[in-house]
């Protein structure tokens, strides 16, 4: 079986996979143990590049060779060679030299690992995910440094200007420090117990960002969450996950136990699974699920969760992505990283008409076009949907990755970028999203419940020859303005942006013709 090696070993085999490729990863891990060599063999988390899994990182005295999709025979040979004192490099996709004691993934200068940044992903695929020695490696736990310094911390957080990441974050696209202050002040005024929720429930199948962090470096997420809990005076910390994500849940539980052991048990950490439904990730529906309600409906705001959240308590909700940014700023410093209006980096999963999805980290002043170099697209790029299932359609990715630029281009900030090739029919693409919205909305407010139904009907009517662009646009405006939660406000965006860019395709369908030959009469 695998051994308990850590980054301190200068000769070691790492087997890197995420939850989706774990079965194959375990086979490779078992094969690596067969030669019964003295070389440590460990299972590490994903790097973000699924196509390469199971990825073997064979390290020998300051040099690491990367072997993608490693076969059972290859891994056995690698173990024997390392045991004999050599590092074979034939067939490796890259070989890189590094400090033998490095705590972070030594990235090759060329190829897919060289694209974008590896700041919050610096240890993903390298450290043992829940090993506190690997995690701290010359740095202290964040949660251990905040005692009696809450005011200083809040002021530093304010200075960073950090904004929340992801649709399930209570500070999505807004300044994090404002939420921390509100929770702290309201709790004091009302003498209430605040609570911290890590919202890792993201049921969009294309969104890998939070899962990647929880599977590869859960300590970074929990450490930042525990630091936040101590600063706002929270009495417990809940981690809300999808019920089918076994690996993420196991790693969170393991990391929580380790962190409690090392930093203290003053704030209990508990992982709770919620339904694998898209709406369950919305922050007030996350609270409903955590309270044990089976029928999830979004809550009216105000009051916002930071004022009155879980069981009426002031509640700070952050996604793993946001917490990883906070940790990176406090531990590594953040001067000059990203755009001043939205500093730091943004994790994006590239999906759509690509051979294998991958997750990339971009500085917020990088343009999204970096993602085109990261994946193999089936054909030429026709359009991209930026920001998840209800993101915005665009022909160009020449847009910076910060919130203001994405909003100005009517694109979403929820991480996923789907690339579509020239064969795609845009009416068909947005029609499926309208049907998804019609089916998945929680039903609480009419602008979304009735609006998504009308929208799906109007898009179907186009196939029967009726395309009333103004009527559709008016409906989209109402949905955007009047829906209670972000689901309904965003559900209109794919259609609105596709009509701006591809209206002629909509008209062609009304004339009985699909320009791409995708839709049958």
Q: Which of 91, 303, 312, 443 is close enough to bind ligand SF4 by CB under 6 A? A: 443
Question: What stretches of 62-190 show up as alpha helix (H) in DSSP?
Answer: 72-83, 132-136, 150-160, 176-190
Q: Which of 441, 455, 467, 498 is close enough to bind ligand SF4 by CB under 6 A? A: 441
Question: Would you say 222 and 133 are in contact if contact means Cβ atoms under 8 Å apart?
Answer: no
CA-CA-CA-CA dihedral for 239, 245, 249, 251, to nearest 10? -120
Window of 186-194, 197-205, 388-396, 437-445 that interacts with ligand SF4 by CB under 6 A? 437-445
Judged by beta carbon, residue 186 or residue 484, the one nearer ligand SF4 is 484
Minimum CB distance to ligand SF4, residue 483 (Å): 4
Three-state secondary structure string covering 162-217: CEECCCCCCCECCEHHHHHHHHHHHHHHHCCCCEEEEECCCCCCCCCHHHHHHHHC
CA distance 456 to 438: 7
Q: Which residues contact 339 (CB under 8 A, 6 or more apart)?
A: 364, 365, 400, 402, 404, 405
CA-CA-CA-CA dihedral for 50, 54, 55, 59, to nearest 10? 150
Minimum CB distance to ligand SF4, residue 488 (Å): 3
Q: Which of 484, 496, 499, 508 is close enough to bind ligand SF4 by CB under 6 A? A: 484
Task: Kindly state whether residue 238 participates in binding ligand SF4, applying the rule CB under 6 A.
Answer: no
Window of 41-49, 230-238, 399-407, 438-446 that interacts with ligand SF4 by CB under 6 A? 438-446
Judged by beta carbon, residue 96 or residue 483, the one nearer ligand SF4 is 483
Window of 341-349, 399-407, 443-451, 465-473 that interacts with ligand SF4 by CB under 6 A? 443-451
**What is the DSSP pairing of strand 345-352 with strand 11-16?**
unpaired
Q: What number of chain residues touch ligand SF4 (CB under 6 A)? A: 14
Minimum CB distance to ligand SF4, residue 314 (Å): 22
Task: Kindly state whether residue 289 participates in binding ligand SF4, applying the rule CB under 6 A.
Answer: no
Among the listed residues 483, 415, 497, the one whose alpha carbon sits nearest the alpha carbon of residue 449: 483
Q: Which of 393, 448, 455, 456 is close enough to bind ligand SF4 by CB under 6 A? A: 448
Judged by beta carbon, residue 85 or residue 302, the one nearer ligand SF4 is 302
Among the listed residues 356, 361, 301, the one whose alpha carbon sits nearest the alpha carbon of residue 337: 361
Residues numbered 119 to 138 that lie near ligand SF4 (CB under 6 A) are: none
Minimum CB distance to ligand SF4, residue 301 (Å): 10
Minimum CB distance to ligand SF4, residue 478 (Å): 12
Q: Which of 298, 354, 416, 496 is close enough to bind ligand SF4 by CB under 6 A? A: 298
CA distance 384 to 186: 42
Give the CA count within 13 Å in the CB-facing half-sphere of 379.
11
Task: Kindly state whether residue 488 participates in binding ligand SF4, applying the rule CB under 6 A.
Answer: yes
Residues numbered 354 to 383 that lie near ligand SF4 (CB under 6 A) are: none
Among the listed residues 189, 414, 221, 466, the one whose alpha carbon sits nearest the alpha carbon of residue 307: 189
Judged by beta carbon, residue 16 or residue 201, the one nearer ligand SF4 is 201
Spell out, one character per residue from 264 to 283, where the chain touches ligand SF4: x when CB under 6 A holds, - when not.
---------------x----
Minimum CB distance to ligand SF4, residue 452 (Å): 7
Task: Kindly state whether residue 449 participates in binding ligand SF4, applying the rule CB under 6 A.
Answer: yes
Element containing residue 433 per DSSP (H, E):
helix 426-440
| Binding positions for ligand SF4, rule: CB under 6 A | 279, 298, 441-445, 448-449, 483-485, 487-488
């Amino acid at each position: 079986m695998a051994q308990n090696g850590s980054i301190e070993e200068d000769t070691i085999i790492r087997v890197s996979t995420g939850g989706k490729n774990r079965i194959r990863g375990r086979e490779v891990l078992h094969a690596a143990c067969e030669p019964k060599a003295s070389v440590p063999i460990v299972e590490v988390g994903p790097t973000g590049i699924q196509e390469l899994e199971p990825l073997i990182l064979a390290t020998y005295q300051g040099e690491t060779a990367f072997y993608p999709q490693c076969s059972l025979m290859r891994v056995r040979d690698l173990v024997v060679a390392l045991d004999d004192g050599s590092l074979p490099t034939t067939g490796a996709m890259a070989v890189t030299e590094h400090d033998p004691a490095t705590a972070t993934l030594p990235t090759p200068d060329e190829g897919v690992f060289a694209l974008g940044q590896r700041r919050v992903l610096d240890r993903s695929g390298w450290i043992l995910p829940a090993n506190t020695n690997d995690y701290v490696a010359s740095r202290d736990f964040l949660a251990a440094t905040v005692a009696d310094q809450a005011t200083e911390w809040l002021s530093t957080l304010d200075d960073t200007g950090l904004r929340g990441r992801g649709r399930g974050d209570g500070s999505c696209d807004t300044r994090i420090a404002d939420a921390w202050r509100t929770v702290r002040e309201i709790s004091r005024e009302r003498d209430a117990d605040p609570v911290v929720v890590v919202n890792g429930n993201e049921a969009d199948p294309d969104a890998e960002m939070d899962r990647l962090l929880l599977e590869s470096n859960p300590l970074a997420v929990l450490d930042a969450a525990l630091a936040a809990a101590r600063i706002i005076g929270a009495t417990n910390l809940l981690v809300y996950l999808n019920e089918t994500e076994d690996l993420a849940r196991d790693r969170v539980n393991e990391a929580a136990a380790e962190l409690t052991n090392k930093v203290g048990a003053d704030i209990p950490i508990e992982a709770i699974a919620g339904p694998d439904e898209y709406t369950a990730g919305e922050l007030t529906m996350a609270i409903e699920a955590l309270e044990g309600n089976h029928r999830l409906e979004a809550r009216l705001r105000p009051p916002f969760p930071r004022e009155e959240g879980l069981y009426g308590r002031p509640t700070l909700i952050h996604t793993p992505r946001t917490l990883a940014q906070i940790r990176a700023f406090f531990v590594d410093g953040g001067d000059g990283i990203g755009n001043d209006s939205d500093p730091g980096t943004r994790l994006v999963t590239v999906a759509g008409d690509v051979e294998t999805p991958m997750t990339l980290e971009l500085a917020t002043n990088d343009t999204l076009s970096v993602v085109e170099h990261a994946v193999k697209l089936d054909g030429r790029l026709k359009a991209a949907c930026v920001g998840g299932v209800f993101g915005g359609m665009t022909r160009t990715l020449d847009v910076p990755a910060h919130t203001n630029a994405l909003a100005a281009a009517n694109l979403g900030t929820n991480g996923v970028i789907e690339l579509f090739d020239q064969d795609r029919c845009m009416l068909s693409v947005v029609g499926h999203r309208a049907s998804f919205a019609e089916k998945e909305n929680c039903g609480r407010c009419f602008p979304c419940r009735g609006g998504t139904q009308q929208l799906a009907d109007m898009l179907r009517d186009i196939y029967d020859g009726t395309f009333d662009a103004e009527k559709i646009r008016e409906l989209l405006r109402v949905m955007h303005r009047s829906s209670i939660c972000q689901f309904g406000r965003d559900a209109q965006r794919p259609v609105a942006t596709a009509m701006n860019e591809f209206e002629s395709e909509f008209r062609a369908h009304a004339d009985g013709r699909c320009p791409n030959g995708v839709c049958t009469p």
